[in-house]
Amino acid sequence: MDKSVLVIGAGVAGITTSLELANSGVQVVLVEKSPGLGGAVASYCCKATDQCNKCSVCVANQKMEELWSAPNLSLFTNSVIQKLARSDGGFHITVTHKPSYVDDDKCIRCQLCTEKCPTTPSSIFLPPPHSSLQSYVIDTDRCLHFQGKKCNLCQEVCPAGAVDLSQKEREENFQVGAIVVATGFSPFDPTRKKRYGYGAYPDVITALELEEQLRIEGKLSRPSDGNQPKQIAFIQCFGSRDAHVGNNYCSRVCCTYTMRLANLLKFKHPDSSVTIFYMDIQTFGKEFEQFYQQCRQKITFIRDMPSLIQQDGNNKLLITYQDRKEGQVVRSNFDLAVLSVGLCPGEDTAKLVELLGLQTNEHGFFKSLSPLQTNETEAEGIFLAGTCQGPRDISESIAHSIGAAEKALAYLGAE
């Protein structure tokens, strides 16, 4: 059998599986649909205060760095699996590569194209994790040129002649012995719960947007006026444990990431007050229970899911909830509301289920062979890694992905 593996998705799960396999001497083809590496984690911040708070983001970043020097690995970003057929006990695969429209050998990384591009954000950019080994790329969904408008500013200003808007897609074929699916999750779409004002009020943001702002800017400011918010609210279980939106499961990571973020905000902005609205706190692990108890000293916890967020004439958010002790409905003022969005099945799951001959479970994630065999699937030679199979944090995703690599190695007889 062909001792090579196709890994689909280069989030922390796909990267971990690829490193494990490649370091064991197996040829790996790692295919990532976006221009950058790292999946969701690429936009997360470090949550250390005067001490490390064990969010594992740096562990994932370290794995991204290791990928650049891994042996036996072919990495294709901006690429998707077009066709797949079983053949000779393995799989024949056709991958389509979208061009980057920038010749990396010529590009001198002067950033001029990014600065001059008229779209916001710029459609030509260096994708995460911003390693010197990454190349500039154009996002054709945003770029005016590819939306049929007249623009070639980046090509004009580039001093190195590196931008080439005429590049075309190309296809490549591979033969592999096994496949590991690591296509991750999609965050819950906050516009589905209209009563919370996401999209209508600029100061209602998601935890993903908060992570990104803290990573890039290192501090928090309100989208509406750039001021530092003094009263911050987090709304837990946003799109999780909620039968109304069809997600009747716990996302496992939101309580922990929220508490680390809330703790970080109190550390960076001690004069601000932070309130967490919750149903009940799921603290997975003994150490986290201690951290939770420490957080209770400086953060206000209110046990109720607010029913409504509105904005008043003074640019303040009004959050309506029920005070359970007093048994009455309360409306409180906040400067910023953060929706702790849950983990939903990845957006390509249905497409891949059809292409690979897999199934989904009752929550829409990829179905594993059994509750105890979470890497294996009913399809021979196809394995699962990370959150594509169900909600997991980074360290759980890493452990699961090492399991997927071990199963693939055993299947190929390459242990």
Ligand X SMILES: Cc1cc2nc3c(=O)[nH]c(=O)nc-3n(C[C@H](O)[C@H](O)[C@H](O)COP(=O)(O)OP(=O)(O)OC[C@H]3O[C@@H](n4cnc5c(N)ncnc54)[C@H](O)[C@@H]3O)c2cc1C
- Using CB under 6 A, list all residues that contact ligand X: 8-14, 31-34, 39-41, 44, 55-57, 80, 182-185, 187, 207-208, 211, 253, 257, 260, 341, 343, 346, 348, 352, 386-387, 392-395, 397
101 vs 196, beta carbon nearer ligand SF4:
101
58 vs 355, beta carbon nearer ligand SF4:
58
Nearest to 75 by CA among 36, 48, 132, 106: 36
215 contacts ligand SF4 (rule: CB under 6 A): no
The CA–CA distances, whole Å, from 60 to 11, 34, 63, 344 equal 9, 17, 5, 21
| 393 contact choice in ligand X, ligand SF4, none (CB below 5 to 8 Å, kind-dependent) | ligand X
Under a CB-based contact definition with an 8 Å cutoff, are residues 14 and 5 in contact? no
| 294 contact choice in ligand SF4, ligand X, none (CB below 5 to 8 Å, kind-dependent) | none
β-bridge mates for residue 75, sequence order: 30
Q: Least CB distance from residue 324 to ligand SF4, whole Å?
A: 33
Distance CA 385, CA 14 (A): 7
User: For 21, left (φ over 0), alpha (ψ -120 to 50), or beta?
Assistant: alpha
**# of chain residues touching ligand SF4 (CB under 6 A):** 36
143 vs 176, beta carbon nearer ligand SF4:
143
Q: Chain-centre distance of CA 67, in angstroms?
A: 18
Sign of the alpha-carbon torsion through 52, 55, 59, 65: negative
Q: Least CB distance from residue 356 to ligand X, whole Å?
A: 10
Q: Least CB distance from residue 15 to ligand SF4, whole Å?
A: 16
Choices 1-9, 142-150, 177-185, 339-347 (CB under 6 A): range interacting with ligand SF4: 142-150
The CA–CA distances, whole Å, from 23 to 60, 174, 384 equal 17, 20, 19
Q: Least CB distance from residue 107 to ligand SF4, whole Å?
A: 3
The CA–CA distances, whole Å, from 59 to 62, 328, 394 equal 5, 45, 9
* Burial of 264 from C-beta contacts in 10 A (0-12 / 13-18 / 19+): buried
Among 75, 102, 274, 343, binds ligand SF4 (CB under 6 A): 102
Q: Chain-centre distance of CA 347, in angstroms?
A: 12
53 contacts ligand SF4 (rule: CB under 6 A): yes
Phi, psi of 373 (to 5 degrees): -115, 75
355 contacts ligand SF4 (rule: CB under 6 A): no
62 vs 328, beta carbon nearer ligand SF4:
62
Q: Where are the beta strands (DSSP E) in 261-327?
A: 273-277, 300-302, 308-311, 317-323
| 48 contact choice in ligand X, ligand SF4, none (CB below 5 to 8 Å, kind-dependent) | ligand SF4
Q: Least CB distance from residue 13 to ligand X, whole Å?
A: 3
Distance CA 57, CA 333 (A): 32
Residue type, 128: P
124 vs 205, beta carbon nearer ligand SF4:
124
48 contacts ligand SF4 (rule: CB under 6 A): yes
137 contacts ligand SF4 (rule: CB under 6 A): no
Q: What is the DSSP letter of 368?
A: P
63 contacts ligand SF4 (rule: CB under 6 A): no
Half-sphere exposure of 398 (CA within 13 A, CB side): 14
| 250 contact choice in ligand X, ligand SF4, none (CB below 5 to 8 Å, kind-dependent) | none
| 80 contact choice in ligand X, ligand SF4, none (CB below 5 to 8 Å, kind-dependent) | ligand X
Under a CB-based contact definition with an 8 Å cutoff, are residues 137 and 146 in contact? no
The CA–CA distances, whole Å, from 356 to 160, 403, 411 equal 43, 20, 17
| 8 contact choice in ligand X, ligand SF4, none (CB below 5 to 8 Å, kind-dependent) | ligand X
| 41 contact choice in ligand SF4, ligand X, none (CB below 5 to 8 Å, kind-dependent) | ligand X
Q: Chain-centre distance of CA 213, in angstroms?
A: 15
160 contacts ligand SF4 (rule: CB under 6 A): yes
Distance CA 5, CA 181 (A): 10
Among 1, 46, 80, 369, binds ligand SF4 (CB under 6 A): 46
41 contacts ligand SF4 (rule: CB under 6 A): no
| 32 contact choice in ligand X, ligand SF4, none (CB below 5 to 8 Å, kind-dependent) | ligand X
Among all chains, which residue has been given the structure tokens 């706190």? 281
| 214 contact choice in ligand SF4, ligand X, none (CB below 5 to 8 Å, kind-dependent) | none
Residues lying near ligand SF4 in the complex (CB under 6 A): 46-48, 52-58, 102, 107-113, 117-119, 123-124, 136, 138, 143-145, 151-154, 158, 160, 162-163
